[in-house]
Amino acid sequence: MKKINVGLVGFGNVGSGVVKILRQRKTFLREKIGLEINIQKIYDKDITSKRDVDVDRSLLTRDSKKILNDPQIDIVVELIGGIHPAKEYIIEALKKGKNIVTANKALLAQNGKELFALAQDRQKNIYFEAAVGAGIPIIKSLREGLVANKFYNILGIVNGTSNFILSQMSNNNFTFKAALAQAQLKGFAEKDPSLDIEGIDSAHKLILLVYLCFGRLVNFSDIFIEGISQISLADINYAKELGFEIKLLTIAKKEKEELEVRVHPTLIPRGHLLSSVTGIFNAIYVSSDLAGNLLFYGPGAGQLSAASAVVSDLVDLTQDIRAGLFRPTLNIRVDESIKRLRRIDDIESRYYIRFMAVDKPGVLAKISGILAQSGISIASVTQKERSKAHVVPIVMIIHEAKEKNLRQALEAIDRLAAIKQKSVAIRMEEV
């Protein structure tokens, strides 16, 4: 066997990048792997718009069946995104005896159990390196490089759009609205950015990371998700004064028999490596028993970064196909010590809290009293200078408290006549 034929489903930004790499590095790759990776056919609904790579028009088709039904195609690369019709294309390709490479984290997070089971039944593989962290080789590292390890924690900045927005707010004093507009202008954010800024994209990626580390395919509904749209410039600046940066963090923690999975804005000490991850860059911090603490860092978006991960998967599959081997993509060992998922109400954390209160005697005492009634102790408190409206921010750091107790206390505090805005509470991670 000297040639592996590939069918590309989706000829957008990443798809064009894959074609570009395979063409520009054709000889380079052939010398490295001893095979030629040949693009047999490219499917897209739009085959007329100009791309930044030229291809023979005979390779293009609007008919997906010309890829799915072609017996000469060994691997189908799915890059159209979304659930439908991507799911149907992958199912059909597996049934026709083709291996799969995909970057579709939403599909795998929602339907991974079904798709991986079908792949196993058909003795075919689904590779998905580009689904998390673009070109950062986190999937391969967890699956192969750290195969002997047991894992304790995963902390990740895995959404470039949100990280760019928070970086602009922190470094350039942008408001959230202005930072989002800048992200959209640069092409880092969609016209509707809700999947990114509300934490949904991060949650999809967390599901895959949890599966690789702990062998449990959690449901989307199992993850507590809170986005960054309510983070103000004031909170960013107050956090900096206290020695922290605010990041949208994906978190998975194993605590004895429980696993907690959550996505939310988090205060990280400025001395930690994760706090220095800026712009569209991603970073995944993994704690393991043998290799210790590891940080995987790199651009979390970009045509060639994501396409590089797709080509990496293609190369892995070519070696399997040539050797006639079937290596289950997710031959995952389930961590049987995990008995249940921890609810967000039971999470314990330190918190940053900001109250907007009328500047008059006794208000701070009332706030402190309500917190004390819920068993919550204050580590530090700062009352900012008086404004013209005589409403001032009171910023607190509280000692570790249970989420349920804090929420009950904040509801009571927000009912006070002296509190003029809903209180802001942001969790802290002492990483």
Q: Give the active site residues.
A: 205
Cβ-based neighbours of 321, under 8 Å, separated by 6 or more = 1, 4, 74, 75, 99
- Cβ atoms of 397 and 242 closer than 8 Å: yes
Nearest-angstrom CA–CA distance, 238 and 346: 27
Secondary structure letter of residue 48 according to DSSP: S
Cβ-based neighbours of 199, under 8 Å, separated by 6 or more = 159, 162, 225, 226, 227, 228, 248, 263, 264
The residue written with tokens 């603490």 in the block is: 293
CA 341 vs CA 103, 218, 241, 338: distances in Å: 27, 9, 35, 8
Q: Which long-range contacts (CB under 8 A, 24 or more apart) does 64-68 make?
A: 64/9, 64/89, 66/41, 67/7, 67/8, 67/9, 67/40, 67/41, 67/43, 67/93, 68/7, 68/92, 68/93, 68/96, 68/98
Assigned token pair, 42: 């490219």
Determine which helix (DSSP H) or strand (DSSP E) holds 338, and give its type and residue range. Answer: none
- Cβ atoms of 266 and 253 closer than 8 Å: no
SS3 108: helix
Cβ-based neighbours of 130, under 8 Å, separated by 6 or more = 14, 102, 103, 306, 307, 309, 310, 313
- Cβ atoms of 176 and 229 closer than 8 Å: yes
Nearest CA-CA partner of 223 in 263, 189, 185: 263
